[in-house]
Amino acid sequence: MKTNRSNFLCGFMGAGKSTLIKEINSKENIACMDLDLHIENLYGPINKIFEDKGENYFRSIEQEEFFKQVDKFDLIALGGGAVENNEIYQHILKSGKAIYLEVDFNILWKRIENSNRPLVKFGKESIRGLFEKRIDKYQSLQHVLSISSEENSYTALLNALELNK
């Protein structure tokens, strides 16, 4: 099934998906949604979900909420690990409207190393392994936006959305 409305903003944790969604939501007439924030509003903090019920439980919620929200928004920011869910990955791939925010791993690590993200507690090399595990899926998406600055990412994302109309 090809989606008609939703574009999907993808990237590793710390790539700037949530920041961009907030900025676009406040400046543009584009209906946006941050899937992780939506899940937190319904179920509580993601790090607490991971702690109390585990990553598999979180991933099942993520899939359920993803499919409830598809085509309700023009732009949906996905969590960094959403591409590991084959149902979600296949859907965004087939949509033709997936946008990957590509950021160098060392920059990502600097952004997240002191955060409360649940997987960061396993350390830099563990996170690098996750990054390397996901990179091929990210790079297979329709639009790859290499990000060098936040200003650059805002403009690049708006241009990608325009291409997807």
Taking the CA atoms of the chain, what radius of gyration do you get in angstroms?
15
44 occurs within a structural domain: yes
151 burial via Cβ count (<10 Å: 0-12, 13-18, 19+): exposed
Torsions phi, psi for 77 (to 5 deg): -85, 125
Task: Find the domain containing 156 and state its range.
Answer: 7-163
CATH number of the domain to which 73 belongs: 3.40.50.300
Tell me the helices (H) and strands (E) count for the chain, helix number first: 8, 5
12 occurs within a structural domain: yes
How many domains, in total, are found in the chain? 1
150 occurs within a structural domain: yes
pLDDT values of the chain reduced to their tens digit, one per residue, 165 residues: 344 789 999 999 999 999 899 999 888 889 999 999 999 999 999 999 999 999 999 999 999 999 999 999 999 999 999 999 999 999 999 999 999 999 999 999 999 999 888 888 889 999 999 999 999 999 999 889 887 655 577 888 888 887 666
Q: What angle do CA 62, 85, 134 make, to 5 degrees?
A: 115
Query: For residue 98, what are the contacts with CB-CB under 8 A and spacing of at least 6?
Result: 7, 8, 10, 92, 141, 142, 143
149 burial via Cβ count (<10 Å: 0-12, 13-18, 19+): exposed
Residue 77 β-bridge partners: 9, 34
2 occurs within a structural domain: no
57 occurs within a structural domain: yes
1 occurs within a structural domain: no
Lookup: tokens for 7: 């574009």
Residue-by-residue DSSP string for 8-20: EEE--TTSSHHHH
